[in-house]
């Protein structure tokens, strides 16, 4: 599987006095494995967990620093949680994401009381008649879709001078570490929601950088899978050859668990044909503590030299990679006419990510 991994050290946001509440702060940085172990040990119910996350969305996203990462909370989430609690009590709990609260980027269809808007006012009352493939797989895996996340409107495919993380429906998404800094788009809401502990994992979409960039800027983990590994049916499209959904979370293991729950062949997306017989339903078996050993990692040298603080972090990262067995290779920026840019008559070339 070809994938782009954004492996970021997870930390508590710097404005933690605002983000950490005295009643629910224990849930911060909880992993899927820890969450489900708590269910088994009857430390809390799924309903308890869903309420905590919904309360955090209200406290942090809407009322507190107003991160604007969430467009809408699922009004049916408490009832879904109760149903899953009954399954847990009856010994019918199954699925790798059972009882896990998930946020979906709002260009991914859900057949419920939440519209799918892509952040655009034109779609404010657009209610899909069926679940997207991603939403269907999440429900089958036992996950609870608790909210739809904000995004760069139309997944950042609306203007040459669009603002990362801004939409007409949700406003400007804000980076939870530094509120006036770029959260990066277009899956900005998904990245911020995970980073601020408003959900356990989230789903983003990427055409060109829209999973890995917000994962980087909000210090989480994101995977852009190979196109065709996860179906795009029910997702508002940009590019047939580049679009893909992908998981975003706080740990590599959580993201690997979520990835396995989403794979599969879908007759509605011909790109998934190429993944038949190749996709996995459990990627955790590939996780290795010595996974960097023998890997060759490219370093774009010209990207450095603009900030002493950033360069210091980069040099520490390079040292860490080498210490753990990776070979770091300095590379030049790819050359080619109009590489990474759109040519628009009357306008200078500008790069754009979706």
Task: Choose the catalytic residue: 105, 136, 137, 271.
Answer: 105
Q: How would you write the chain as a 3-class SS string?
A: CCCEEECCCCCCCCCHHHHCCCCCHHHCCCCHHHHHHHHHCCCCCHHHHHHHHHHHHHHHHHHCCCCCCEEEECCCHHHHHHHHHHHHHCCCCCCCCCCCEEEEECCECCCCCCCCCCCCHHHCCCCCCCCCHHHHHHHHCCCEEEEEECCCHHHHCCCCCCCCCEECCCEECCCCCCCCCCCCCCCHHHHHHHHCCCCCEEEEEECCCCCHHHHHHCCCEEEECCCCCCCCCCECCCCCCCCEEEEEECCHHHHHHHHHHHCCCCCCCHHHHHHCCCCCCCCHHHCCCCCCCCCEEEEEHHHCCCCHHHHHHHHHHHHHHHHCCCEEEEECCCCCCCCCCECCCCCCCECCCC
With CA atoms as reference, report the closest residue to 175 among 255, 251, 65, 28: 65
Task: Choose the catalytic residue: 149, 164, 167, 210.
Answer: 210
CA angle 224/228/229 to nearest 5° reads: 65
User: Would you say how long the chain is, in residues?
Assistant: 354
Residue for token pair 């788009």? 185
> Is 47 an annotated catalytic residue?
no
> Is 105 an annotated catalytic residue?
yes
With CA atoms as reference, report the closest residue to 228 among 248, 242, 239, 215: 242
d(CA 52, CA 47): 9
| Residue 220 Cα to chain centre, angstroms | 9
Task: Choose the catalytic residue: 132, 164, 167, 186.
Answer: 186
With CA atoms as reference, report the closest residue to 230 among 278, 288, 186: 278
Residues assigned a catalytic role: 105, 186, 210
């Amino acid at each position: 599987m070809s994938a782009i991994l954004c492996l970021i050290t997870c930390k508590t946001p710097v404005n933690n006095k605002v983000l950490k509440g005295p009643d629910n702060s224990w849930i911060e940085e909880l992993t899927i494995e820890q969450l489900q172990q708590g269910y088994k040990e009857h430390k809390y119910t799924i309903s308890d967990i869903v309420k905590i996350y919904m309360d955090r969305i209200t406290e942090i996203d809407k009322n507190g620093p107003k991160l604007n990462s969430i467009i809408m909370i699922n009004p049916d989430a408490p009832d879904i949680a109760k149903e899953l609690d009954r399954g847990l009590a009856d010994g019918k709990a199954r699925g790798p994401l059972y009882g896990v609260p998930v946020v979906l980027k709002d260009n991914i269809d859900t057949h419920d009381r939440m519209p799918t808007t892509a952040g655009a006012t034109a779609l404010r009352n657009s209610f899909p008649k069926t679940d997207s493939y991603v939403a269907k797989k999440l429900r089958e895996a036992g996950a609870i879709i608790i909210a739809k996340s904000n995004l760069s409107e139309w997944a950042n495919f609306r203007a040459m001078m669009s603002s990362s993380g801004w939409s007409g429906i949700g406003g400007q998404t804000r980076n939870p570490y530094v509120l006036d800094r770029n959260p990066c788009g277009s899956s900005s809401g998904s990245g911020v929601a995970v980073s601020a502990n408003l959900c356990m994992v989230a789903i983003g979409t990427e055409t060109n950088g829209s999973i890995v960039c917000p994962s980087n800027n909000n210090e989480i983990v994101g995977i852009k899978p190979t196109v065709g590994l996860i179906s795009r049916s029910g997702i508002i499209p940009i590019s047939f050859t580049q679009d893909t959904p992908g998981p975003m979370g706080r740990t590599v293991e959580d993201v690997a668990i979520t990835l396995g729950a989403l794979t599969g062949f879908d007759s509605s997306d011909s790109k998934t044909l190429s993944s038949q017989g190749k996709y996995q339903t459990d990627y955790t078996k590939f996780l290795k503590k010595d996974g960097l050993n023998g890997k060759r990692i490219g370093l774009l040298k010209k990207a450095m030299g603009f900030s002493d603080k950033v360069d210091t972090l980069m040099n520490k990262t390079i040292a860490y990679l080498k210490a753990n067995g990776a070979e770091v290779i300095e590379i030049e920026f790819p050359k080619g006419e109009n590489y990474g840019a759109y040519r628009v008559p009357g306008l200078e070339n500008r790069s754009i990510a979706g």
